Chain A
Amino acid sequence: MNDEIHTLSGAYALNALPFRELGEFEGHLSRCETCSIEVRGLRETAARLGAAVAEAPPRALKSRVMAQIAEVRQEPPQIEEEEPPPAEVVVPLRRGKGRWALALAAVSAAAAVSIGVIAVNEIRSRDASIEETQSLLAAPDAVVRKVEMVGGGSATVVASESHGKVMFTSELPALDPSKTYQLWTIGGERIRPAGLVDGGGIRTATVELPAGTDHFGVTVEPAGGSEQPTTEPVMLAKVT
Chain B
Amino acid sequence: MGFVNDVVPISVTGRSPELDELLVLVARGDETAFERLYDRLIASVFGLIRRVVRDRAQAEEVAQEVMVEVWRTAARFDPARGGAMSWVMTVAHRRAVDRVRSAQASSDRENRVAQMGGEVAYDHVAETVTTRLEGERVRRCLDGLTELQRQAVTMAYYGGYSYPEVAGLLKVPLGTVKTRMRDGLVRLRDCMGVER
A residues adjacent to B (C-beta < 8 A): 7-11, 13-18, 36-37, 40-59, 61-62, 64-66, 68-70, 72-78, 81-82, 84-90, 92
Contact = CB atoms under 8 A, between A and B. Distances in A.
A84 B157 contact: no
B98 A18 contact: no
B109 interface: no
Given A62-B38, A78-B75, A8 B196 contact: no
A49 B7 CA distance: 18
Contacts of A52: 12, 129, 132, 134-135, 138-139
SS of B interface (majority): helix
Nearest to B92: A50
B132 A10 contact: no
A52 B185 CA distance: 15
A77 B72 CA distance: 11
A81 B179 CA distance: 30
A67 B43 CA distance: 19
Contacts of B78: 81, 84
A57 B196 contact: no
Contacts of A17: 162-163
Contact of B166 (A13, A16, A37, A72): A16
Nearest to B178: A7
20 contacts: A10-B182, A17-B163, A41-B189, A41-B196, A42-B185, A43-B86, A44-B83, A45-B189, A48-B12, A50-B48, A52-B135, A53-B48, A53-B50, A53-B158, A62-B35, A65-B68, A69-B34, A75-B74, A84-B78, A85-B86
Contacts of A68: 64, 68
A199 B38 CA distance: 54
Nearest to A65: B67
A57 B3 contact: yes
Interface in B158-187: 158, 160-164, 166, 175, 177-186
Contacts of B185: 10, 13-14, 42, 45-46
A69 B46 contact: no
B182 A9 contact: yes
Given A46-B90, A47-B85, A53-B51, 7 more contacts: A40-B86, A44-B85, A50-B44, A51-B135, A52-B139, A58-B2, A65-B68
B53 interface: no
A88 to B, nearest CB: 7
